[in-house]
Structure 1
């Protein structure tokens, strides 16, 4: 797991502990001080005092500010809300890549342009037509000024969500979809590792054949770009091909093997374009 994924899981763990019993000490532990920050926020905003005030019904809004670039990341939060029968909604702040570049220059610790470009390729905006669980979503353009109309839309979103808390799932259709997402993630993880190994082996073989520095540099760049495009397209195809009915077996090893074979073909095309030859010639 990446550091950010681990951090996100710790945050969700702290949140679930709070939902189970707001006043109880949280059993979640972390080296990054997540629990300490969570406890400080609860204390500073007098959350427990508000919840214990029985004179008027308390309406507590928990805001999770994160990229959440994959739908599966947001779905974890939705599942948590459904488990405890609370409300769920999401606000998607759209920002053109050019504006991201400009704003990044003013950051104290700017990230590279490559990271911003990669994030723009990966991000999956809310899809209310495909995902019923994302129906309570609002998309805002972060380049526009906040107006009274914007605030009104936000209040309407929050009010609608608060008045319609989620109910525990009664059928397993959403669980099956979550299982498919998990299976797809497993396939993608293994395929990514296999493709990385293939790229490494290809570069090693190219060096053995005494390719020039310019050719090696161009080859590495093309292989890296092609791998990224291939994996993004692979994820879409994997989700389409995975069975939607419970009980159907999935041969993950076969899916990964087939994917690597397809990437090998794309790799060979790149080799030929650089005049290096086919796989058989450089093996």
Structure 2
């Protein structure tokens, strides 16, 4: 059954709090603790678990499926936006077909408690529980908070890989270990120096149990965010250009890392093919020259052909993946083949 939004919600403060970190880092445990602390303060709080809202089959790595996965993630934020944007006294809220309807209704149940439990105008808190390992994933939440003038904050749970893997194995439905390992390599934690919009973020060491002081820090962070909602974005040409350059740098940086891995694999393959050491010494600089030329071309092409606005979501991962696989990998293979062929001829 669809939920109804009371008119009093329109006057309430609201905050979107991002909880990010590796699987089994302790996000769900922290969520439960924060929900309890929020209830003590009279806040209306809901846990938004992406794992429970998004069907398991949506998590694929193939390019065509990645778009589908992104659509599910966007559906979560669209459902929150629809809930918060109601302008009538009581409006039915059908859930998106891309998310689990029963789970979504459970998310909202705590926000729709009788008025005597939560007085008129009580703050609204959404705890978004997901890995959020790329800044672009978190930026989507920031965009929504800015659009609706909501509070926004982030909590990063810092936990070592071995502990996460060990905890994960005790789960009823553990995440494949390789998925956690790969995610740890890709995880780009909140960095206010690099991304100024992440200024309201804290990091908690969750290798051990989260302490009461940690929970207090989170509550204080959320309280500050509630009292300092974001302002809607204004047209700013200089900022747009700065964002475009920053995005280009991110693309080039990730492409450089991907190319380095491919070069390392190529050198290993050449050694296994018994390419002489003198040829190996020539192969390394040749591959690095190829990489440098590729990165220069990629940056130029991205700045010339990609129209980037702060409101748009440029999928850096997919841009890098397509460029590396369609261009650099082919050039690298040609160079390797030439060296191996020359070796076999000699």
Instruction: Give the alignment's TM-score, normalised by structure 1.
Output: 0.64
| C-alpha contact 2:76 2:99 (8 A) present in aligned 1 | no
Does the C-alpha gap of structure 1 residues 62 and 115 become closer, same or farther in structure 2, counting only changes over 3 Å? same
Higher relative contact order (CA 8 A, sep 6+): 2
Aligned to 1:103: 167
Instruction: Say whether 1:37 aligns with 2:92.
Output: no
| C-alpha contact 1:128 1:134 (8 A) present in aligned 2 | yes
Q: CA deviation at 1:257?
A: 6.8
Aligned to 1:219: none
Q: Deviations over 1:215-271 (max 9, x none)?
A: 9xxxxxxxxxxxxxxx9xx99x9679854xxxxx4269xx97798443223334555
Q: CA deviation at 1:124?
A: 0.9
Instruction: Say whether 1:153 aligns with 2:217.
Output: yes
Does the C-alpha gap of structure 1 residues 58 and 239 become closer, same or farther in structure 2, counting only changes over 3 Å? farther
Q: Deviations over 1:4-35 (max 9, x none)?
A: 323211101101101111842235521542x4
Aligned to 2:75: 10
Instruction: Say whether 1:25 aligns with 2:80.
Output: no
| C-alpha contact 2:151 2:226 (8 A) present in aligned 1 | yes
| C-alpha contact 1:88 1:166 (8 A) present in aligned 2 | yes
Q: CA deviation at 1:147?
A: 2.1
Counterparts of 1:185 and 1:91, CA distance in 2: 22
| C-alpha contact 2:153 2:221 (8 A) present in aligned 1 | yes
Counterparts of 2:71 and 2:142, CA distance in 1: 18
Counterparts of 2:183 and 2:92, CA distance in 1: 36
Q: CA deviation at 1:36?
A: 3.6
- Indicate the SS of the match to 1:88: strand
The alignment covers a number of residue pairs equal to: 228
Displaced runs of 4+ in structure 1, greater than 6 A?
177-187, 255-259
Instruction: Say whether 1:79 aligns with 2:143.
Output: yes
Structure with greater strand share of residues:
2
Counterparts of 2:224 and 2:70, CA distance in 1: 30
